Amino acid sequence: MSQFPHDEFDEVQPYRPDEVGKHRAPGAPPVAAAGSSGMMKWIGLLVVAVVVIVAVGWFVTRDGDDDDAAPTADEQQAEDDADAEADGENGGEDGDGDAEDGENGEGGENGENGENGEDQPAGGLSDEFPVRAVNAGAPDGSAGQLSSELEELGLDVQQSIDWDFGNWGTPNTPLVIYPSQDQQELAEAVAGELGIETVSQDESWATIVVVVGPEYE
């Protein structure tokens, strides 16, 4: 037995887990328990929010990776076929162009007459200065025939004329006359091609002239 007499405190019920003490107003909610429950609720909501954010980020990243993924085998084959067809069409057009170039190039008609399809001057000659044939007593048609020879040499041939014996006297044919020193080299080259020995300068002429007489056949 207790050494103390029985009193009202002996009637107090044992503590429950949610009680922090007996000295409180009847019916008051346990403060510590309520605060703990509210904190757990917010922690749970925060965890859920983090999980949702991570999940959304993962799906967005996965969609981006799918867009950049390599094409499938069928897609790659279709793309290769399209490229091959385009290359074939371009190759055909280029082939036609090459054929045309071949016709007009070195092996074609233009190749025979030079780069631009024109007669090129013979060695030592140029078409820088014009040249004219002059008939000084040669047979009829000699000036035209001489003009043709000059054209075959690739020269810039002007209209042929007849020699004016009344004003110009009688020349010692055949000869080549040039008006300026700049044309001397070309005049001498023309004389060499035609086998003419006499080359002289006369500033009264506007072009180089090749004069032929009765000796020209």
pLDDT digits (tens, 9 = 90+) for 124-168: 588 899 999 999 999 999 999 999 999 999 999 999 999 999 999
What pTM value is reported for the model?
0.46
> What's the one-letter identity of residue 34?
A
DSSP per residue over 57-125, as a string? Answer: HHHHHHHHHHHTSPPPHHHHHHHHHHHHHHHHHHHHHHHHHHHHHHHHSTTSHHHHH-TTSSPPPPTT-
Confidence at residue 52, expressed as pLDDT on a 0 to 100 scale:
84
| pLDDT for res 97 | 47
Rounded CA gap, 105 and 110, in Å? 6
Question: Is the pLDDT assigned to residue 171 strictly greater than 50?
Answer: yes
Stronger pLDDT, 38 or 12, i.e. the higher one: 38
- Most confidently modeled of 40-44, 89-93, 191-195? 191-195
Length of the chain: 217
